[in-house]
């Protein structure tokens, strides 16, 4: 039985959100699908390329931590069951992205960003606010996020070079699925965000990617 209070507050959903946050940040997310890198042979990469790839994958892992938090925040705030169900598939795929990128960071000899809890909290709050603004804005925010992630992953593919076949396989699959998430949000009635909001999101994303590349 679910415990609901006034204002749409739901204790069970809050507890499960906390539980999910802890598992996300502790690196306990297990992928439902095999990693796209699994059947790809390790490319011939030198130590400098390996270090760069580890840093880029740390950024992507951090992005996927944010995606978990955004989808969680939205699910907690949104009252439209149909939208929530439609976004579930995207949220499941984001969990796979999270696990795949964590695994690749480790293989490359890197470690996750130390600032992940901070990004999780910020993204959760943003997702929650977007969720409370109503479905059209909520979906608009999601579509714009996915669009920016897609562009960002394209930039990573250009920086990675051709030899790091395993990392490329993961980033390529993620880019394809982020594009699908954007199309899902658009199909469900995403509203176009004002220019100022899009710019603010780019700025926040740049701060996150710059810091998590290093820390
Ligand atoms: Fe993702
Ligand atoms: Fe996505």
**Concatenated DSSP letters for 159-205?**
HH-SS-HHHHHHHHHHHHHHHHHHHHHHHTTPPPPPHHHHHHHHHHH
Ligand of minimum distance to the alpha carbon of 153: 1
Ligand nearest to the CA of 63: 1
Q: Is the dihedral of CA 213, 168, 29, 111 positive or negative?
A: negative
Ligand nearest, relative to CA of residue 173: 1
Give the DSSP letter string of 66-133. Answer: HHHHHHHHHHHH---HHHHHHHHHHHHHHHHHHHHHHHHHHHTT----TTHHHHHHHHHHHHHHHHHT
How many whole angstroms from 79 Cα to the centroid of ligand 1?
23
The ligand that comes nearest to the alpha carbon of residue 94 is: 1
Q: Is pTM, for the whole model, over 0.75?
A: yes
| CA of residue 155 to ligand 2 center, whole Å | 16
Q: Could you tell me the distance, in angstroms and rounded to a whole number, from the CA of residue 126 to the centre of ligand 2?
A: 16
Burial zone of 118 (CB within 10 Å; 0-12 exposed, 13-18 middle, 19+ buried)? middle
- Which ligand has the minimum distance to the alpha carbon of residue 98? 1
Ligand nearest to the CA of 179: 2
Angle (nearest 5°) at CA 60 between 35 and 125: 115
Q: Residue 130: what pLDDT?
A: 82
Position 160 scores a pLDDT of 87
3-state secondary structure of 10: strand
Low-confidence ranges of the chain (pLDDT < 50): 1-4
Q: How far is the CA of 10 from the centre of ligand 2 (A)?
A: 26
CA 90 to ligand 2 centroid distance, Å: 6
Q: How many angstroms is it from 7 CA to the middle of ligand 1? A: 31
Give CA–CA dist 110/47, Å, rounded.
12
Which ligand has the minimum distance to the alpha carbon of residue 71?
Answer: 2
Centre of ligand 2 to C-alpha 46, Å, is: 30
Nearest alpha-carbon partner for 126 in 111, 145, 110:
145
What's residue 131's pLDDT? 80
Nearest to 169 by CA among 21, 138, 177, 91: 177
pLDDT of residue 162: 85
């Amino acid at each position: 039985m679910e415990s609901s209070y006034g204002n749409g507050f739901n204790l069970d959903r809050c507890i499960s959100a906390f539980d999910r946050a802890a598992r996300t940040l502790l690196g306990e997310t297990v992928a439902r699908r095999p990693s796209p890198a699994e059947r790809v042979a390790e490319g011939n990469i030198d130590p400098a390329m390996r270090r760069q790839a580890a840093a880029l994958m740390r950024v992507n892992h951090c992005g996927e931590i944010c995606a978990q938090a955004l989808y969680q925040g939205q699910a907690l705030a949104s009252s439209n069951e149909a939208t929530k169900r439609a976004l579930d598939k995207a949220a499941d795929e984001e969990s796979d992205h999270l696990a795949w990128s964590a695994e690749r960071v480790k293989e490359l000899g890197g470690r996750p960003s130390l600032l992940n809890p901070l990004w999780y909290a910020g993204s959760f709050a943003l997702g929650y606010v977007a969720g409370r603004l109503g479905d059209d804005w909520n979906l608009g925010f999601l579509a714009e996020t996915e669009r920016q992630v897609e562009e960002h992953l394209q930039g990573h593919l250009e920086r990675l070079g051709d030899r790091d076949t395993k990392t490329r396989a993961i980033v390529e699959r993620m880019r394809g699925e982020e594009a699908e998430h954007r199309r899902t949000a658009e199909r469900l009635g995403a509203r176009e965000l004002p220019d100022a909001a899009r710019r603010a999101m780019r700025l926040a994303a740049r701060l996150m990617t710059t810091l998590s590349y290093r820390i």
